[in-house]
Structure formats: structure tokens, C-alpha cells
Amino acid sequence: MLRRTGREFLDFIQHGNVVDLAVAVIIGAAFSKMVTALVDLITASALKPTMQKLGIDRLDLWPVGVLLSALINFIVVALILFAVIKAFERLKRKQLASPAEIDPQQRLAESIDRLAQELHERNI
């Protein structure tokens, strides 16, 4: 039973989609940390005068600070994801628009087949 379960698990893991998904999740987590650090740096410096007036040392101590950081993180990640998806769609459209090169021998064989069928239909 344990061997069968282990074998089924290995078959599941070896499917390409699972590995791709795992890589995407890991890269996404690392990317999210980078965006969070960048947003925290920018918002902290942009809101520094306001925070000093309110007597707040850190952004996360401000009641709206955590929400503000999360909202900006979401917007940044959404914009970058939108740009990446648009680039992939543009690339896919270019691939679909470019005519696939047909093998000259295949083209000749198709022409001969059409000619033979036309001759057969005309009883020549």
C-alpha cells in the first residue's frame, strides 16, 4: 500500500504542470517580498513628513499604514502581471500570424494529389 501510494505520488509529481506550478509559486513568493520591500521603502520616505507630524516612527504602527502598504503592493503586482500577460499575448499573436512554412515536398505531393483527382474526375 505504501509503495503504491509512493508510486502514485511520484507519477503525480512528474507531471510537468505540477513542477511548473511549484516553480511559479516560489518565484511569486520571492517577487512578492521584493515588491513589499520596495513599497515599504517608497511609502516610508514619501509619508515621512506626515508620519513625523503624527509622531509615528514606523509605517506599520500607523493604523492605516499596513492597509496602505498592502494596497500599493497589490497594485504594483497587478500592473506587472498585466504587463507580462500582455507581452505573452503579443508574442502568441505574432506566432499565430506568421505563416507556418510548408515543406516543399509536401506541397508538391498535395499538388500531385489534386491533379490526379482532377484527371480522374474528367476521365482522362
Q: Which DSSP string corresponds to 70-124?
A: HHHHHHHHHHHHHHHHHHHHHHHHHHHHSPPPPPHHHHHHHHHHHHHHHHHHTT-
**In the predicted structure, residue 2 carries a pLDDT above the cut 70:** yes
Distance CA 9, CA 19 (A): 13
The set of cell numbers assigned to 105 is: 515536398
Residue whose grid cell is 504542470:
17
Q: Kindly report the average pLDDT of the chain as a whole number.
A: 82
Give the per-residue pLDDT at 120.
Answer: 85
| CATH number of the CATH domain containing 48 | 1.10.1200
Q: Are 47 and 59 in contact (CB under 8 A)?
A: yes
Which tens digits make up the pLDDT trace of 48-89? Answer: 888 788 887 777 777 777 888 888 888 988 888 899 889 988
What pTM did the predictor assign? 0.53
What is the tally of structural domains in the chain? 1
Q: Which residues form the domain of 116?
A: 2-121
CB atoms within 10 A of CB 39: 21
